[in-house]
Amino acid sequence: MSPPPPLTGLRVLELARILAGPWIGQLLADLGADVVKVEAPEGDDTRKWGPPFVEGVGDEHLSAAYFHSANRGKRSITADFRTSEGQALVYRLAAHADVVVENFKVGGLEKYGLDAAAMRAAFPRLIYCSVTGFGQTGPYAPRAGYDFLVQGMGGPMSVTGEPTGAPMKAGYAVADIYTGLYASVGILSALRRRDATGEGATLDMALLDAQVAVLGNQAMNYLVSGNPPPRLGNAHPNIVPYDVFPVADGHIIIATGNDGQWRKLCDVLGGAELASHPDYADNKSRVANRAPLTIALHALTQRYGKADLLAALEAVGVPAGPINSVDEVFADPQIMARGVKVDLPSAAAKGGTIPTVASPIVIDGVRQVAGRPSPGLGEHHDDILNDPAWGGPHHG
């Protein structure tokens, strides 16, 4: 028998919607936490962000796929923060929570008495995590934060796209998701500290902070050199060849990481003259002579079919791979073998299940994923109110 999930017994109150905040709640639910999502009577906005929608057994859908991407494993209750009854309900639940997650604009919950200062004063052991676009301080603090804007402001769009093309955002919400991941680490760290001190904590998580943090080596390239990194398309700023290459029937990725792999690549491609050329002898030289080397390699790779070249490169240990569409991703034998896609049982869904992309965390051979899909709006209202763990009638 597998041990219980690592966060079993942890109670999380989610006052969040859209993506960054719900991503935190979903990850904690995957790890075993009891996450109660408090929604406005009209529900999380993303319930309507479709098509596509998850089909139900009747005429009604079960919310948009977008909503289901960030809300599995939770229980839903509704409350109107604008009313004293709604505020009292949140306080009742917070009295039994370990963690509160919210992603309202700075100051947005103060008028309801649901802000960090008020709730931490009432419940000193509470871990209160606020997610905003720009943080609780600084000149941009009052602004609303949107992933697209933050990708532009935080630097990644300046290094994404073809050199002569327009700046390009990532095709998914990297600022929101990375902020959710960093916030989850912060929450677990604060809980660890609370174990030692008994004191709660207030977390100030900003999309812009997280976006700048994940610039990684590109940020350091600038800080060390003083030169802002340019857009290089699919090329790597520090390694050559590390790029997308044309083949007879499409494109592949070749990602050499050292001089030994470079020489093996040349052997496979029949490019002995490149391997011996002094302009390409080491990585520093190849980076300096990126343009002519890329042209020469394109001429060689185009002589091969995708499958044949990938197989030849794999045989000699040169990192290379296909560029999969999303349908190809989920048909990939490695993804299938790892159990990344999971079908969660749902009596309300057409076909009896709702698909989901499981957490990438595997502990002792067990993939961490909540056992139930995203909740219907207010689906667990009565269950939560009657749950002793959340102050129900038989509490204590």
Distance CA 244, CA 233 (A): 9
- The values of phi and psi at residue 276, to 5°, are -95, -5
Task: Single out the residue of 298, 320, 323, 325 nearest to residue 310, CA to CA.
Answer: 320
Task: Single out the residue of 115, 121, 99, 104 nearest to residue 187, CA to CA.
Answer: 99
- The values of phi and psi at residue 3, to 5°, are -65, 160
Going by C-beta distance under 8 Å and a sequence separation of 6 or more, which residues neighbour residue 106?
Answer: 132, 136, 141, 142
Tokens 């929570």 — which residue? 97
Judged by phi (left if over 0) then psi (alpha if -120 to 50, else beta), residue 380 lies in alpha
Q: Is 209 noted as a catalytic residue in this protein?
A: no
Distance CA 19, CA 139 (A): 24
Torsion of CA 171, 176, 181, 185, to 10 degrees: 160
**CB 245 within 8 Å of CB 254:** yes
Distance linking the first and last C-alpha atoms of the chain:
30
Distance CA 180, CA 21 (A): 6
Q: Of the residues 44, 176, 243, 387, which is catalytic?
A: 176
**Helix, coil or strand: residue 289:** coil
Tokens of 253: 């990725």
Residue 191's CB is within 10 A of a number of other CB atoms, namely 16
Going by C-beta distance under 8 Å and a sequence separation of 6 or more, which residues neighbour residue 20?
Answer: 103, 131, 175, 176, 177, 179, 180, 183, 205, 207
Q: Active-site residues: which are they?
A: 176
